[in-house]
């Protein structure tokens, strides 16, 4: 039936767009961390320049979700998919914003001598990127089991953050000359920790989409 | 001679009983209902409970048996020759197909509104008063007028017609005629109101008025509505039942039905991927 084929086409287009946004957020984070670890401020500036396109993509997805709801009135799994995408797009955009904040910190830190504690932050970013990629894959395949596993793995990034936090505070005390840079790096660590939380949000939306189960804030409805 | 018909080939789980609102007994309870038009079996072992003072919507593709099923609830199918019913329909725990049932009284208790408004070629007042007069419900003119006024108010039509009660019902708009038919059904104070696609021939404004009316009426009546408009089912009903090829596939809260139905057949139908 034509009407339903149109809906399928629109849902498919929406899926493509949100995965594109996910890919952009992932790339922004990867490049921001690269600019920090490789001390390449040009790459950091590219991340910042590209953010407008990510914002634009989020708005397009918003509009597309509203159009589908208003014009196609999706139900059941289609409705859950559109709602999940509508809630996921701002989450992905926020991840890209955190990547921009990391890029800004990289530009500042790259003008200063390198810090030893960067390694801990790199470990956090590797884990955050791994979680983000897996979350986008589980969303694509409506895989609620993997999504739940990813949610559990957020504790690892929290542990890494706590470890990094204490290490940087210790450095601020023992080497006061590096305190400003340590503080900047602490913000980077916090951005990565928040990205882990956002990935958890994506996974919760995947579980809702696949199973119609609300697991947000550990509330079961 | 026993009737032999091939059952449609649909694999579904057993019918899910509808939840009752307060855990109490249902206003209408249907048990293993079969229905035949001659040799053709139109309904297959339907079991379903309709709690009191809720709106239940029946949805499904054309020919799935939802209107036939609706008409079994007040024996409207009795007037069709060569039909046969098996199983039970209980209204307040009394089998409406029991030989002792007074069918006229049954239809007073279980009123019906049809797809096409069918006012009599009489005045607005006489249309609403008709059922009261033939049932000799009232003894005085003032009581009759009071009942007509109340029915028109309940049908959200009073303010539009109070100054022209003696004019022909046929002068009303389509939406007003349909609300007049609802007033006519309400005048004899039914307990259950069956509505067979009551808004399918109406424009969006008239449809909206009917839907608002249904929402108000459920405070007093148990309402069962057949609709092809799934958004309408979603808007007006508390519980939805999905029929397919004469079988009840799923009964669920409307919220669950339209966000996460239990049955794949239901999901395929409401997402438009049926067939």
**pLDDT-based confidence at B1, cuts 50/70/90?**
very low
Q: How confident is the model at residue A120 (pLDDT cuts 50, 70, 90)?
A: confident
Domains, chain A, in order of start with CATH, read 2-218 (1.20.58.220)
Chain A interface disruption, residue of B273, B274, B275, most A CBs within 10 A: B273
- SS3 sequence of B114-167: CCCCCCCCCEHHHHHHHHHHHCCCCCCHHHHHHHHHHHHHHCCCHHHHCCCCCC
Tell me the pTM: 0.81
Q: Is the pLDDT at A2 greater than 60, yes or no?
A: no
- Three-state DSSP state, B196: strand
When pLDDT is averaged across residues B45-50 and rounded to a whole number, the result is: 97
Report CA A76 to chain centroid distance, whole Å.
Answer: 27
Q: Is any Cβ of chain A less than 8 angstroms from the Cβ of B14?
A: no
The pLDDT value recorded for residue A116 is 74
- Taking each helix axis from N to C end, the angle separating A41-67 and A76-109, rounded to the nearest 10 degrees, works out to 160
Q: Out of B259, B273, B275, whose CB is closest to A79?
A: B259
Tell whether A74 is within 8 A of chain B (Cβ).
Answer: yes
pLDDT for B149 equals 95
Q: Tell me what pLDDT residue B9 has.
A: 37
The answer to whether B273 contacts chain A (CB < 8 Å) is: yes
Distance, in angstroms, between A14 CA and closest chain B CA?
A: 17
pLDDT in tens, B88-136: 999 999 999 999 999 999 999 999 999 888 899 999 999 999 988 988 7
Q: What percent of chain B has pLDDT over 70?
A: 91
The pLDDT of residue A210: 96
Does B255 touch chain A if contact means CB atoms closer than 8 Å?
A: no
Q: In which band, very low, low, confident or very high, does the pLDDT at B245 lie, cut at 50, 70 and 90? A: very high
In Å, how far are A207, B37, B86, B242 from B245, measured between CA atoms?
33, 14, 17, 10
Closest-CA distance of chain A to residue B178, Å: 27
List the single residue in A4, A80, A212 with the smallest CB-CB distance to B273: A4
Instruction: Give how far the C-alpha of residue B99 lies from the chain's centroid of Cα atoms, to the nearest Å.
Output: 23
Average pLDDT over residues A117-125: 86
Q: Residue B234: its chain A contacts at CB < 8 A? A: 75
The confidence score (pLDDT) of residue B261 equals: 95
The string of pLDDT tens digits covering residues B69-81 is: 999 999 999 989 9
Mean pLDDT of all residues belonging to chain B: 89
Give yes or no for residue B137 having a pLDDT over 70. Answer: yes
Whether residue A73 lies within 8 A of chain B, CB to CB, comes out as yes
| Interchain proximity A75–B258, CB inside 8 Å | yes
Which letter does DSSP use for residue A204 in this model?
H
Structure confidence at residue B200 (pLDDT): 87
Which residues from A are below 8 Å from B273, CB to CB? Answer: 4
Strand order in B83-91's β-sheet? B40-50, B28-37, B83-91, B94-95
Residues of A in contact with B264 (CB under 8 A): none
Q: Is B260 in CB contact (< 8 Å) with chain A? A: yes
Average model confidence (pLDDT) across chain A: 93
The interface residues of chain B toward chain A in range 222-241, judged by CB-CB distance below 8 A, are 230-231, 234
> Is A212 close to B259, i.e. CB distance below 8 A?
yes
Element spanning A196, H or E: helix A179-211
What does each C-alpha distance from B44 to A212, B8, B36, B272 come to in angstroms? 31, 9, 9, 24
Could you read off the pLDDT of B8-26 as tens digits, one per residue?
334 333 334 444 444 446 9
Question: How near does any CA of chain B get to the CA of A5, in Å?
Answer: 9
Chain B positions touching A4 (Cβ under 8 A) are 271-273
Residue A1: pLDDT above 70?
no
Which residue segments constitute the domains of chain B, with CATH numbers given?
28-117+191-270 (3.40.50.300)
- Taking only the tens place, the pLDDT of each residue in B159-170 is 999 999 999 999
In this structure, the number of other CB atoms found within 10 A of the CB of residue A156 comes to 16
Interface of A with B in 79-138 (CB under 8 A): 79-80
The answer to whether the CB atoms of B272 and A7 lie below 8 A apart is yes
Residue of B nearest to A208 (CA): B260
State pLDDT tens for residues A41-89.
999 999 999 999 999 999 999 999 999 999 889 999 999 999 999 999 9
Query: A6 CA to chain B: closest CA distance, Å?
Result: 11
- For A6-31, what is each residue's pLDDT tens digit? 889 999 999 999 999 999 999 999 99
Give the pLDDT band (50/70/90) at residue B275.
low
pLDDT for residue A140: 94
Which among A75, A80, A83, A213 is the top mutation candidate for probing chain B, defined by the most B β-carbons within 10 Å of its own β-carbon? A75
pLDDT confidence band for A221 (50 / 70 / 90): low
CB contact under 8 A, B259 and A3: no
Quick one: CA dihedral A152, A158, A159, A160, positive or negative?
positive
Asked whether residue A112 carries a pLDDT value surpassing 70, the answer given is yes
pLDDT of residue B14: 35
H-helix or E-strand containing A120? helix A118-140
Among the listed residues A27, A45, A26, the one whose alpha carbon sits nearest the alpha carbon of residue A35: A45
Cross-chain Cβ contact B272/A77 below 8 Å: no
**A77 vs B: CB within 8 A:** yes
pLDDT of residue A115: 80
Minimal C-alpha gap between B126 and chain A (Å): 42
């Amino acid at each position: 039936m034509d009407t339903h084929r149109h809906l399928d086409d629109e849902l498919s287009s929406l899926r493509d767009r949100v995965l594109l946004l996910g890919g952009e957020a992932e790339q922004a984070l990867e490049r921001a961390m690269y600019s920090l670890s490789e001390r390449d401020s040009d790459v950091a500036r590219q991340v910042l320049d590209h953010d407008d396109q990510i914002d634009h993509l989020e708005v397009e997805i918003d509009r597309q979700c509203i159009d589908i709801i208003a014009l196609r009135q999706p139900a059941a799994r289609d409705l859950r998919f559109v709602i999940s995408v509508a809630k996921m797009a701002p989450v992905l955009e926020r991840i890209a914003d955190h990547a921009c904040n990391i890029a800004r910190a990289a530009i500042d830190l790259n003008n200063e001598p390198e810090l030893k504690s960067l390694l801990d932050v790199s470990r956090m970013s590797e884990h955050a990127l791994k979680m983000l990629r897996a979350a986008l894959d589980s969303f694509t395949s409506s895989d609620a089991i993997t999504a739940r596993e990813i949610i559990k793995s957020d504790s690892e990034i929290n542990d890494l953050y706590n470890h990094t936090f204490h290490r940087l505070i210790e450095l601020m005390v023992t080497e006061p000359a590096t305190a400003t840079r340590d503080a900047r790096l602490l913000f980077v660590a916090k951005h990565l920790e928040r990205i882990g939380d956002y990935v958890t949000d994506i996974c919760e939306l995947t579980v809702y989409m696949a199973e119609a189960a609300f697991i947000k804030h550990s509330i079961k409805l | 001679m026993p009737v032999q018909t091939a059952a449609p080939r649909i694999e579904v789980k057993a019918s899910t009983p509808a939840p009752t609102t307060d855990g109490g007994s249902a206003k209408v309870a249907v048990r293993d209902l079969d229905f035949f038009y001659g040799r053709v079996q139109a309904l297959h072992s339907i079991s379903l409970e309709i709690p009191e003072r809720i709106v239940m919507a029946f949805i499904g593709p054309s020919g799935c048996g939802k209107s036939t099923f609706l008409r079994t609830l007040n024996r409207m199918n009795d007037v069709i020759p060569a039909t046969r019913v098996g199983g039970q329909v209980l209204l307040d725990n009394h089998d409406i197909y029991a030989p002792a049932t007074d069918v006229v009284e049954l239809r007073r208790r279980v009123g019906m509104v049809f797809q096409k408004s069918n006012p009599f070629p009489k005045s607005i007042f006489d249309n609403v008063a008709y059922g009261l007069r033939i049932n000799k419900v009232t003894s005085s003119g003032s009581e009759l007028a009071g009942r007509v006024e109340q029915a028109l108010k309940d049908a959200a039509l009073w303010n539009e017609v109070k100054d022209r009660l003696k004019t022909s019902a046929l002068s009303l708009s389509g939406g007003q005629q349909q609300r007049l038919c609802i007033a006519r059904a309400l005048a004899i104070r039914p307990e259950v109101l069956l509505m067979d696609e009551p808004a399918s021939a109406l424009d969006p404004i008239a449809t909206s008025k009917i839907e608002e009316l249904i929402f108000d009426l459920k405070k007093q009546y148990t309402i069962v509505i057949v609709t092809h408009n799934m958004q309408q089912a979603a808007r007006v009903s508390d519980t939805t039942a999905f029929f397919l090829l004469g079988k009840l596939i799923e009964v669920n809260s409307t919220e669950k039905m339209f966000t996460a139905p239990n049955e794949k057949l239901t999901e395929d139908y409401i997402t438009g991927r049926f067939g």
